[in-house]
Structure 1
């Protein structure tokens, strides 16, 4: 196995790890614990399954940490294609980590309010439940804001894949479309919430671009670039 292919497989491993862990808090836990339009049922669900909610917090922290490693491994893979574009990808991809870490604070605050410890005795249960619901909604809004960077970093990544010569160009096109899908989800969530379900339904198949890319580089690696391409100064 050549070094290029080895680096691609390492990046693919971390990418797939992010893809597998991130949905724990984004999709699985809301589907199990949250009841749309019913604050009391949602709070009761978190209280009854506190450990599962804690797993969601841990999952977001792990996702943020692994994302940081992922962006570095992808930078190492593509820096010889174009260093400036690779650095742009690295900077935009880096934003994933602080946003994930910051957003866990909302879930931590929610958990404390749901537990109702003695130092919150000055707040009634109705007040605590209201505050917990507010933090959950802030978490959701922060997720929509994060999707801006989830989308933006895919554009320089797509450009690098397209120019690389060691990966198929259809992956680059799919990644770029995936980026547009994230930006559309962010727009709907922040500005037009009534469009959320419609945009999510359209965006889902488009978001499989990341899955296809991660599986490709993990399983197939990267083909060695021709000697002529290696002699061409691409890192302008």
Structure 2
């Protein structure tokens, strides 16, 4: 017997909120920093308020994902409890990664003002340290994205066997899962094994496949608001 469809409603609307919030810190802010001119610490200094909003955004969307995963677990444990548990564990694992990873962004920002705690450091050293921490922050997000992909695999399988959400959405979300994993492997594991062009191509293909996650929002809301047959 399924849990109340309120779980699907919560999951669907929270997923929509996540889809609106996450691109701010994952795409918009990095594009602003990369597109700015001048020394790296100057770029961070000029956009410090934006970076701190990005930090808050990353924490917020990860907390939202926790509630999404819990709501989906409550709904799908009546379909297959083992798959639901896999989804729950894999969906919660990115939380500590993201929270610890924020220390890298805080570290990058700590080298922005020379007169705060690093007054004796040269500009070149501050530049190197801020760039290092900022790069580590970006890699940390890629590392977390492995689990953003992995938890979608049991979710997709649950959708396929649920008989309440159209199977298209299960297939689509599993394509998105493969995209996350492909992009992460290309960026983290292949730099010493493949050419930069191949890595860029694989990362681009993975990014396109990740779009497959988006339709599940419509699938969840569709199933939540339509009349569903009772299972016995």
Using structure 1 for the length normalisation, give the TM-score.
Answer: 0.87
Q: Distance in 1 between matches of 2:50 and 2:134?
A: 15
Please tell me whether the aligned partners of residues 145 and 186 of structure 1 are also in contact (alpha carbons under 8 angstroms).
yes
Number of residues of Structure 1 aligned to a counterpart in Structure 2:
226
Quote the residue 2:173 is aligned against: 175
Question: Please, which of 33, 47, 50 is the counterpart of residue 49 of structure 1?
Answer: 47
Quote the residue 2:8 is aligned against: 8
Quote the residue 2:156 is aligned against: 158
Q: Distance in 2 between matches of 1:163 and 1:222?
A: 19
Alignment of 1:71 with 2:74, yes or no, is no
**Deviating 4+ runs (over 4 angstroms):** 222-225
Q: Distance in 1 between matches of 2:122 and 2:45?
A: 16
Alignment of 1:1-236 (within 5 A): 4-35=4-35, 40-193=38-191, 194=196, 195-219=198-222, 221=224, 223=226, 225-227=228-230, 230-231=231-232
Please tell me whether the aligned partners of residues 162 and 168 of structure 1 are also in contact (alpha carbons under 8 angstroms).
yes
* 1:114-148 per-position Cα deviation (integer Å, ceiling 9, x unaligned): 12343212321211111000001111211221121
Structure 1 stretch 210-219 or stretch 184-193: which is displaced more?
A: 210-219
Using structure 2 for the length normalisation, give the TM-score.
Answer: 0.89
Quote the residue 1:234 is aligned against: none
Q: Distance in 1 between matches of 2:170 and 2:33?
A: 37
CA distance 1:208–1:156, change in 2 (3 Å): same
5+ unaligned residues in a row in structure 1: which ranges? 232-236
Superposed CA RMSD: 2.1
5+ unaligned residues in a row in structure 2: which ranges? none
